[in-house]
Amino acid sequence: MTAFKQWAKAFLYGGTKRFCVVCGHSARLFRTYGSVPRKDAVCPFCGAFERHRLAMHFLRSHTDLFDGLSRRLLHVAPEAAFEPIFRQVAGAGYLSADLLRDDVMERMDITDIHHPDNSFDVIYCSHVLEHVSDDRKAMREFCRVLRPSGWAMLNVPINAAHTFEDPSITDPAERERVFGQYDHVRNYGPDYKQRLEEAGFRVALTSPADLLSPSEIDRQGLGGPGAGEIYFCRKLSNS
């Protein structure tokens, strides 16, 4: 970022009403974002969304990610706000992956992961499975390549009372109408947790209220629907 852009952002967003735990910046406000606009959505300094700020709180307070030990970390569809952080903590064990992007370390179809069983200590995959036709197979693959002592964070947007999918809907405009985005293939409901369990995971849910006080939820822009919940997964012993 150029010196002018840094100055401009400090001028436009300088203040202390909001705080981003991902980059450590305070701000007067977060940027509005979304096809249905959400206020306080995006950190103007690092680009972190509500879900990233919630995830970072959980990663720091409820996982061993920052303990300084080496580990194999699979980062699917790497977010710009997280990639440098994960690279630093995982070192040579970091692997970014995506099916379509060229700026990743490995082209990967998560329904057919070309790595042996028990390959990774950590899997981070956020807001990806709603794009995947056979999400159950992807979940089983994540479980297969996760080490027994490892953990995965497999977050998705929950925007339905019960998971709804219709493979016959292939037109992008119709997908956007039904699923809210042209490249989504389903709307998940709370039964998403059951899908993960059927794939071989033990799942714990965490919401913003489990981690922060009401005043901090407001300060960090986590009071709206964009924050979602954390789906923290460990491999069942018989998986």
Judge: domain 49-235, CATH 3.40.50.150. yes
If phi over 0 gives left and psi between -120 and 50 gives alpha, with beta otherwise, what is residue 132?
A: beta
Those residues with Cβ within 8 angstroms of residue 188's Cβ, 6 or more apart along the chain or in another chain? 129, 130, 156, 157, 158, 159, 160, 163
Closest C-alpha among 97, 77, 74, 98 to residue 86: 74
Check residue 46 and give its pLDDT. Answer: 93
pLDDT score recorded for residue 8: 57
pLDDT tens digits, one per residue of 194-206: 999 999 999 999 9
> Cα–Cα distance between 36 and 212 in angstroms, integer?
26
CA–CA separation, 129 vs 139, rounded Å?
9
Chain Cα centroid distance, residue 57? 12
Beta-bridged to residue 95, according to DSSP, are 74
pTM, 2 dp: 0.93
Residues of the chain with pLDDT under 70: 1-11, 13-14, 238-239
Q: Give the phi and the psi of residue 215 in degrees, each rounded to 5.
A: -70, -35
